[in-house]
Structure 1
Amino acid sequence: MKKVFSILIMVLLLCNHTTGSASTLDIKSEAAILIDSQSGAVLYEKNAKQKMYPASLTKIATAIYAIERGNLANMVTITKEATEVDGTKVYLNEGEEVPLKKLIQGMLINSGNDAAEAIALHLDGNREAFSRHFNDFLQNKINVQNTHFTNPHGLFEGSHYTTAEDLAKITSYALHNDTFKEIYGTKELKWVGESWDTTIFTHHRMLKGEIPLEGIIGGKTGFVTEAKQTLATSAENEKISLTAIVLKADHKKGIYQDTQLLLEYGFARFQTSLLEPSEVKHNKYYLPNETFITEDLQEGRQTVLDNGELLIETGSGETIQTIQLEKHEREPVESKVEQTKQEHEEDHATVIYGAAVFVLAGLLVGMKNKIFKYLRR
């Protein structure tokens, strides 16, 4: 009964917060961001560009790196180095052979640090090479600019950092991969290893259903002392797909409350739409491809600035998303028609003006001759 009462109180609190603007959200964690996973539009941010320690949210990046770079069916031979990593494990044995996909599952679902280390060593041979290739992948493939990872699992190192904004970009990018999305959303998995025969469960309380919220499709938890509580959560309904990243909360309760506030706010206020090129009409700029945009459910508008930026705005004028349009290499047909019409009108006016001048000149010449004749009398 006490648990039910607590849930009801939480729901009432959410109702009071999710109908307003982003500025009304009382987010306690040090950094947070909410984005539309399809359009990339930032719907809420707090210290989103501040460098932070991610803890095990690092494993989201390691997972998509491994999925895209490795062969999921390949067998990975576990080294002694991998088995000696601190923290949460899936209890791999030295010399054990495990498929790469299974290691990714153990890393994301049970947060196995030993699985993460085994993945890194398998892909790149040693930690230094892994870090170099890993960061190149994140910067060049996903276009993150404020992230530097020195390990695959997120155990604390001073030079291992990221931002809420970059983690949201990485997670949204990864969600476009079906294998990642499947593993990221797995609640439980039968695990059979040489030294561990069990069922592993996600640590994410929303994904497990312990904290009820409709639409949760995946998540990852994290904790080290320096990072405190960190959480990545993705959710969707029929109108929008959202990803919330929340960093450095003092307690687990706080990190889930912040996440729930963000997701409820996103569901209550926004929807994703597909903007077609034909829908953007401008005499200097155009939209080259169909593009996902995030719109205000209540009221919204679109504005093209003189520099070709298309602003997707709320009814009150707050910018939700900015899209850079392309400039026409040639003037649009409509513009050329107008120009031709104007030139024709100008030519017609010139002819009339010339004729008038000619007539006036003739009159003046005639008057001049009459004057001369009069003077000669």
Structure 2
Amino acid sequence: MATARARLLLRSFVFGFFTVILAVEGVARASTGPVLTVPVSRPELGLSCYAAILMEWQSGKILYHRNGFTRMHPASLTKIMTALIALERGRLEEVVQVSEEAASQPGSTMYLREGDKFTLEDLLYGLMLNSGNDAAWAIAEHIGNGDPREFFRMMNQRARQLGAINTRFSNPHGLTDPNHYTTAFDLALITRTALKHPFFKNLVATKEKDVIDARGDKTISLYNTNKLLWLYLGTDGVKTGTTEAAGQCLVASATRNGMRLLAVVLASGDRWSDAAILFDYGFSQWRTEKILDAGERVTTVPVRGGIKAAVPLVLEDDIVVCVPRFSTGLRVELDIPEKVRAPVARGAIVGRATAYLGSEPLVSVNLLAEEWVQTLTPLTLLAHAGALISKLLISFSLY
């Protein structure tokens, strides 16, 4: 399909420090989806950890990394994926009976006993606040229909779907195993997805919680191990992890002025300080901007052989970018065909909108046909004419 060569100025937006130009660009580009960019240079932040990632949550842009793609032991950060699978495949009101194997898991605990019955919701609180290994195993057995290995398969399958290709899970809690590993980057990907779930977002921001078993005769008080919730303004999650092999680990989320950052620190000497340093850097040096809204009409494309001469195009998702705080030169370009052939289905992908900072692509979003355009035939022409006449008659009847 031929593409337009002309660059047509459609509109201009002024946002304080920069001007955004929305243009039609006919030069063909590969439609690769959101663009992953890794900083070319890294500032020296004085971190104590071996591996770290700082990611802007909405765009997924990496703002900083140190050994971010090196395989590491995740410890209890594993439980972020355990919670995600439970939320995607289970129901919060389901009642889970604790097995002997679940109750006897070593390490951190929410103090479950064999035969206890708790809702999946309460077990998730025990999993993410107290970091209960017993809760993790009980969840794995429940979601895996009695087979925790089936749950591990679900975890690994979901990791691959998210692009966490350097991750492998062999248990639901993170106790050390040579075949159980991940990277700081993969953990950021997993957490980014989990935080899109409203319950997970509230769960990891909870500081303390009392849960009551299904019989109503046992109450367990839970306390969040993530001290950053008290130490750093704006912190709203996520999870700690500690083993001898992994050292101090933390995935943390903080939000200020509408920008949410994810910090991952692995094998840290002081995880609270490392996370705070990453957040300070992110909030002081970067900003997010929503340029255009999902569903917003941005242009039209001529239709060949259609009942209508053109079809309007709308954005499938918001165009949100994360850029250096005082940068300028932000623009959006459209990659669209010169014409499309009827019929055109509503919601069909017709082109792409890509945000750039200078020559750097930041994010790319599909452009969708806003409405159906049928092929022009005598029958469709007659039906279209009849619809127009009906509208005119209704309009005249109102006067």
- TM-score past 0.5 threshold: yes
Contact 1:293–1:312, Cα closer than 8 Å, also in 2:
no
- For 2:238, the aligned partner's letter is G
3-state DSSP of counterpart to 1:92: coil
| Matched residue, 1:257 | 273
| Matched residue, 1:214 | 233
Identify if the C-alpha distance between structure 1 residues 324 and 117 changes in structure 2 by more than 3 Å, giving closer, same or farther. Answer: same
1:79 and 2:99 correspond: yes
Identify if the C-alpha distance between structure 1 residues 288 and 80 changes in structure 2 by more than 3 Å, giving closer, same or farther. Answer: closer
1:176 and 2:196 correspond: yes
| Matched residue, 1:373 | none
Contact 1:29–1:248, Cα closer than 8 Å, also in 2:
yes
3-state DSSP of counterpart to 1:107: helix
Moved more, 190-199 or 216-225: 190-199
Pick aligned residue for 2:150 from 129, 150, 173: 129
Contact 1:109–1:200, Cα closer than 8 Å, also in 2:
yes
After superposition, where does 1:174-323 map in structure 2 within 5 Å? 174-192=194-212, 197-207=219-229, 209=230, 211=231, 213-249=232-268, 251=269, 254-276=270-292, 289-302=317-330, 310=354, 312-313=356-357, 322-323=362-363
1:123 and 1:175 map into 2 onto residues whose CA distance is 20
Moved more, 34-43 or 23-32: 23-32
Moved more, 229-238 or 21-30: 21-30
2:173 and 2:329 map into 1 onto residues whose CA distance is 43
After superposition, where does 1:46-85 map in structure 2 within 5 Å? 46-85=66-105
Contact 1:90–1:196, Cα closer than 8 Å, also in 2:
no
**TM superposition shift of 1:289:** 4.3
Identify if the C-alpha distance between structure 1 residues 151 and 236 changes in structure 2 by more than 3 Å, giving closer, same or farther. Answer: same
1:246 and 1:47 map into 2 onto residues whose CA distance is 10
Identify if the C-alpha distance between structure 1 residues 287 and 76 changes in structure 2 by more than 3 Å, giving closer, same or farther. Answer: closer
Q: For residues 282-335 of structure 1, what are the alpha-carbon distances to aligned partners after superposition, in whole Å with 9 as ceiling and x for unaligned?
A: xxxx97643221122212333789x9995644xxx796x63346799xxxxxxx
2:238 and 2:260 map into 1 onto residues whose CA distance is 13
Contact 2:319–2:363, Cα closer than 8 Å, also in 1:
no
2:317 and 2:76 map into 1 onto residues whose CA distance is 36
**TM superposition shift of 1:133:** 1.6
Identify if the C-alpha distance between structure 1 residues 289 and 111 changes in structure 2 by more than 3 Å, giving closer, same or farther. Answer: closer
3-state DSSP of counterpart to 1:24: coil
Pick aligned residue for 1:25 from 45, 57, 61: 45
1:117 and 2:133 correspond: no
**TM superposition shift of 1:173:** 0.9
Q: For residues 131-190 of structure 1, what are the alpha-carbon distances to aligned partners after superposition, in whole Å with 9 as ceiling and x for unaligned?
A: 1122112222x2322111111100011111111011111111111111001111110112
2:297 and 2:94 map into 1 onto residues whose CA distance is 47
Identity across the alignment (%): 35
* Higher Cα radius of gyration: 1
Matched residue pairs, number?
296
2:356 and 2:243 map into 1 onto residues whose CA distance is 39
Q: For residues 22-56 of structure 1, what are the alpha-carbon distances to aligned partners after superposition, in whole Å with 9 as ceiling and x for unaligned?
A: 41322221110011111101111111111111000
**TM superposition shift of 1:216:** 0.7
Contact 1:219–1:234, Cα closer than 8 Å, also in 2:
yes
- For 1:171, the aligned partner's letter is T
Q: TM-score, normalised by structure 1?
A: 0.71
**TM superposition shift of 1:237:** 1.1
3-state DSSP of counterpart to 1:273: strand
2:153 and 2:329 map into 1 onto residues whose CA distance is 44
CA RMSD in angstroms, aligned pairs only? 3.0
Segments of 5+ residues of structure 1 without an aligned counterpart are 1-20, 329-377
**TM superposition shift of 1:123:** 0.7
Contact 1:302–1:310, Cα closer than 8 Å, also in 2:
no
**TM superposition shift of 1:279:** 11
